[in-house]
């Protein structure tokens, strides 16, 4: 079987889809209204799922969202069990994914350097 279609990968993708739907439909807490699931990594023995999440709004607090998700992990795991055909579901560990924020910061820095460079070239002409 090709490595891209391993069981852990399929389970991770299904957990990501189901959690996204659960957060959208079942969770009513306003502190996690802008949470999106960016990826899920599952250990080979399927005992732990690292759930990486991002926040859509800039004013949202990642620590607070993580606390809410961790408190709701039992509910989310139980709801996952109703949608997934597995004997044992992995424990859910939520991790804030900073790649989107860091990517935006890098883009802003690059734009600033380009603008400064263009200004220097205009001043030298």
In a domain, 43, yes or no: yes
In a domain, 124, yes or no: no
Average confidence score pLDDT of the chain: 88
Cα angle for residues 8, 9, 10 (degrees, 5° grid): 95
For residue 1, the model assigns a pLDDT of: 45
Report strand pairing: 91-96 vs 48-55.
parallel
| Residue 93: CATH number of its domain | 3.30.300.20
In a domain, 110, yes or no: no
SS3 94: strand
Domain hosting 71: range is: 3-98
CA-derived radius of gyration, the chain: 20
SS3 86: coil
Number of domains in the chain: 1
In a domain, 105, yes or no: no
Instruction: Give the strand order in the sheet containing 48-55.
Output: 35-42, 48-55, 91-96
In a domain, 118, yes or no: no
- pTM (2 d.p.): 0.79
Q: Are 76 and 41 in contact (CB under 8 A)?
A: no
In a domain, 34, yes or no: yes
In a domain, 88, yes or no: yes
In a domain, 62, yes or no: yes
pLDDT tens column, 29-73: 888 888 999 999 999 999 999 999 999 877 778 899 999 999 999
Q: Tokens for 59, please give them.
A: 């004013």
């Amino acid at each position: 079987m090709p490595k891209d279609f391993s069981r852990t990968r399929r389970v991770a993708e299904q957990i990501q889809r189901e959690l996204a739907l659960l957060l959208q439909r079942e969770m009513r807490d306003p502190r996690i209204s802008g949470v999106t699931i960016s990826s899920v990594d599952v250990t080979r023995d399927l005992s732990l799922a690292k759930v990486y999440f991002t926040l859509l709004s800039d004013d949202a607090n990642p620590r607070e969202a993580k606390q809410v998700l961790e408190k709701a992990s039992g509910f989310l795991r139980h709801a996952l069990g109703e949608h997934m055909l597995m004997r044992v579901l992995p424990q859910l560990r939520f991790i804030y994914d900073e790649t989107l924020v860091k990517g935006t910061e890098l883009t802003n820095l690059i734009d600033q350097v380009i603008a400064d460079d263009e200004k220097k070239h205009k001043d030298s002409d």
